[in-house]
């Protein structure tokens, strides 16, 4: 009897400990009153970007991948906001819809019908059904003052679409190979920046499947058609590349030439399954550092130590403290990085980093990251002085994360975080099989034939809601997406932010996978003063013929020195993350009643020289021309 009682008592104590541990591990829930109070600062109108009809939800794939064709078909939706028609506002959209593999340019819903929607097609270039677009990156690639775009793919290297003439139609763009002749790449991320400091915008390219792998070719039989060789340390993916700007031609047949900097990345930096890239000047030296978010292995933070024409990076890791798990140490994680953005979470004027991972309850629960700076010199002592604060900040858990963007949607100086989520939508939950796969021996994992089935009817986090994190009064972020009607349940991929109508309210667009995509117009009623800046540079060459025109000053930095309501710095790097490109603008909130703000702008000119200018600006939107003589003056567009 006593033995039986002791046994029951032990079971009861064990149950109490389990329940207590579970309760302690649950994040605190905000009160309904707090949710209502915080949510009153936001309001959005939802507008469709494409048809709701879905006639296709899967791709033809190589025979090696037929068993997991739903998994292989999980990417492709992408969105960018830009000013293609030169009306002075980023109210045009480049949308990639995997349902018909289209790359479409169109005005933002509700804006004037300035041009009719049209598709960009690679006329005259090698292109077939084994290739699929994955992202659209607007930019002025031949530096002639007109908005071009780059489209990257699975199945081939990227294509530049260079603008040649008005009016804005499909015929206005000339398709050109980025790489001659084209290569078989499988690209999932591109970011822009002047990486070598020579005054011209370069591009970093993140590839996923091994180079040469014809993933979408139903006739392909190749050794390159493989999966990752580890769930936590996979290094057999495609090679990442840095493409340096060389020269350009404008006119009737525009051209832009980029060359690969083959020694920019070491094998440790370039080999991985990259899903997102982020450029940001973390230490204020005028050179963009690079965050590489890798699937199936550690992310990389690359410190930029380049000189003009000689790009070079150093991989920098974080400090593992006594209580820090290895996977919560920057550069040592084993998670599935799929997005990155650079807010200033602790308002110390040093960029922080937020990163998407897989955080599905009762499935694969990793953690999103909130890498918060611990020093003004973030590379002090050769280490990355960032610690993860995602759990205390309330943003560690969100589902199967993808692109992530940050901005001030309330206009009061506080940072909000939007995140796309969801993987594949079906009717049969395949998380048990995926959990088994995650424990499979690495020697078997690389062979797709050893994987469980992931077909069109199978589901993995297919009903995840998108997230809209808002900081509450206790400092923790609260997901208000359901209350605001922006949860948009189902697989989503790319996010793009812009004040599309220049009313001082930040809008955004979401690219959804195999379903209708949407634009969310900010309709909040509360007005706040702000300074909105379009920072542009003259296209006159440092060496060469005179040219007229202006281009976005990629890499320029704005610091608000007085009148700041909260967010005080901004850097112009629009193409960070996964499958989403925001406008190349800076918008900073001012304290109520502010009639003029002191602003410092820093930039690098077309000759590579660095400049800084102090200005006093009244609230509102304006365009600043950042010139080679070091002046920053307002112009009318």
pLDDT in tens, 212-246: 999 999 999 999 999 999 999 999 999 999 999 99
Structure tokens at 424: 């594949």
- Give whole-number Cα distances, 55 to 59, 120, 382, 402, in Å: 12, 21, 53, 24
The pLDDT of residue 467 is 98
- Give whole-number Cα distances, 347 to 256, 350, 352, 428, 623, in Å: 39, 7, 9, 45, 26
pTM over 0.85: yes
The pLDDT of residue 84 is 97
What is the distance between the alpha carbons of residues 459 and 435, in angstroms, rounded to a whole number? 13
Secondary element (H or E) of residue 14: helix 2-25
DSSP 584: S
Residue 26, Cβ density class (10 Å: 0-12 exposed, 13-18 middle, ≥19 buried): exposed
The pLDDT of residue 8 is 60
CB neighbourhood size of 619 (10 A): 18
What is the distance between the alpha carbons of residues 170 and 174, in angstroms, rounded to a whole number? 9
> What are the backbone angles phi and psi of residue 134, rounded to the nearest 5°?
-125, -15
What is the distance between the alpha carbons of residues 17 and 460, in angstroms, rounded to a whole number? 31
Contact between residue 92 and residue 79 where contact means Cβ atoms under 8 Å apart: no
> What are the backbone angles phi and psi of residue 25, rounded to the nearest 5°?
-80, -15
What is the distance between the alpha carbons of residues 580 and 338, in angstroms, rounded to a whole number? 12
Contact between residue 637 and residue 623 where contact means Cβ atoms under 8 Å apart: yes
- Give whole-number Cα distances, 378 to 100, 352, 383, 494, 571, in Å: 44, 10, 8, 29, 17
The pLDDT of residue 562 is 75
Contact between residue 512 and residue 77 where contact means Cβ atoms under 8 Å apart: yes
What is the distance between the alpha carbons of residues 496 and 576, in angstroms, rounded to a whole number? 10
Nearest by Cα to 233 from 147, 316, 297: 297
What is the distance between the alpha carbons of residues 551 and 598, in angstroms, rounded to a whole number? 24
Q: Is 189 left (phi over 0), alpha (psi -120 to 50) or beta?
A: beta
* Residue ranges of the chain with per-residue pLDDT less than 70: 1-27, 543-547, 563-567
Nearest by Cα to 611 from 624, 629, 586, 625: 629
CA dihedral 546, 548, 554, 559 (to 10 degrees): 110
Structure tokens at 142: 């031949």
The pLDDT of residue 10 is 61
Contact between residue 552 and residue 572 where contact means Cβ atoms under 8 Å apart: yes
CB burial of 390-405 (b: ≥16 within 10 Å; e: otherwise) equals: bbebbbbbbbbbbbbb
What is the distance between the alpha carbons of residues 199 and 604, in angstroms, rounded to a whole number? 6
Residue listed under structure tokens 């600062």? 41
The pLDDT of residue 28 is 77
Q: Which residues are within 8 A (CB) of 512 and not within 5 positions of it... i.e. 6 or more apart?
A: 77, 488, 490, 491, 492, 493, 518
Q: Which residues are within 8 A (CB) of 516 and not within 5 positions of it... i.e. 6 or more apart?
A: 48, 49, 50, 51, 52
Continuous H helices in 146-200: none
Upper half-sphere CA count for residue 31 (Cβ side, 13 Å): 5
């Amino acid at each position: 009897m006593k033995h039986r009682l002791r046994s029951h008592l032990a079971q009861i104590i064990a149950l109490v400990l389990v329940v207590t541990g579970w309760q302690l591990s649950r994040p605190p829930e905000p009160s309904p009153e707090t949710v209502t109070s915080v949510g009153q600062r936001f309001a959005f109108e939802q507008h469709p970007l494409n048809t709701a009809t879905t006639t296709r939800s899967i791709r033809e794939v190589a025979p090696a991948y037929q068993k997991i064709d739903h998994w292989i078909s999980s990417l492709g939706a992408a969105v960018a906001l830009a000013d293609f028609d030169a009306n002075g506002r980023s109210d045009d959209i480049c949308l990639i819809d995997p349902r018909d593999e289209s790359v479409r340019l169109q005005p933002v819903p509700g804006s004037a019908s300035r041009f009719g929607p049209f598709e960009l097609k690679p006329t005259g270039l090698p292109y077939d059904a084994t290739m699929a677009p994955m992202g659209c990156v607007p930019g002025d690639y031949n530096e002639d003052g007109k908005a071009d775009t780059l489209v990257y793919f699975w199945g081939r290297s990227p294509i530049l679409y260079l603008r040649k003439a008005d009016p804005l139609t499909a015929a206005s763009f000339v398709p050109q190979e980025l790489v001659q002749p084209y290569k078989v790449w499988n690209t999932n991320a591109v970011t822009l920046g002047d990486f070598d400091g020579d005054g011209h915008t370069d591009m970093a390219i993140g590839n996923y499947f091994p180079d040469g792998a014809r993933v979408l070719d139903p006739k392909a039989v190749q050794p390159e058609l493989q999966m990752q060789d580890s769930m936590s340390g996979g290094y057999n993916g495609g090679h990442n590349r840095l493409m340096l700007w060389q020269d350009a031609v404008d006119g009737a047949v525009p051209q832009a030439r980029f060359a690969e900097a083959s020694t920019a990345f070491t094998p440790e930096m370039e080999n991985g399954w990259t899903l997102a890239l982020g450029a940001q000047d973390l230490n204020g030296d005028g050179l963009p550092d690079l965050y590489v978010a890798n699937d199936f292995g550690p992310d990389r933070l690359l410190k930029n130590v380049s000189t003009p024409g000689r790009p070079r990076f150093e991989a920098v890791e974080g400090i593992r403290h006594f209580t820090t798990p290895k996977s919560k140490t920057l550069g040592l994680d084993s998670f599935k990085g799929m997005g990155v953005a650079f807010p200033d979470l602790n308002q110390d004027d040093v960029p922080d980093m937020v990163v998407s991972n897989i955080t599905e309850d009762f499935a694969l629960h990793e953690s999103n990251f909130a890498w918060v700076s611990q020093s003004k010199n973030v590379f002090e002592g050769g280490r990355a002085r960032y610690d993860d604060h995602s759990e205390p900040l309330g943003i560690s858990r969100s589902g199967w994360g993808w692109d992530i963007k940050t901005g001030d949607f309330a206009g009061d100086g506080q940072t909000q975080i939007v995140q796309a989520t969801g993987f594949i939508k079906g009717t049969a939950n395949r998380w048990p099989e995926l959990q088994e796969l995650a424990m499979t021996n690495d020697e078997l994992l690389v062979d797709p034939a050893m994987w469980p089935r992931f077909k069109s009817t199978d589901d993995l986090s297919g009903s995840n809601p998108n997230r809209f994190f808002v900081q509450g009064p206790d400092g923790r972020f609260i997901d208000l997406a359901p209350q605001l009607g922006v949860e948009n349940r189902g697989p989503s991929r790319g996010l793009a932010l812009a004040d599309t109508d220049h009313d001082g309210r930040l809008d955004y667009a979401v690219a959804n996978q195999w379903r209708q995509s949407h634009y969310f117009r900010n309709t909040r009623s509360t007005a706040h003063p702000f300074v909105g800046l379009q920072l542009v540079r003259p296209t006159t060459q440092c060496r060469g013929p005179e040219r007229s025109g202006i281009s976005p000053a990629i890499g320029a930095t704005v610091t608000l020195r007085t009148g700041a309501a909260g967010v005080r710095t901004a850097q112009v790097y629009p193409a960070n993350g996964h499958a989403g490109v925001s406008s190349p603008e800076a918008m900073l909130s001012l304290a109520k009643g502010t009639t003029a703000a002191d602003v410092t702008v820093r930039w690098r000119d077309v000759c590579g020289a660095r400049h800084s200018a102090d200005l006093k600006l009244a609230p509102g939107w304006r365009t600043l021309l950042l010139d080679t003589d070091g002046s920053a003056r307002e112009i009318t567009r």
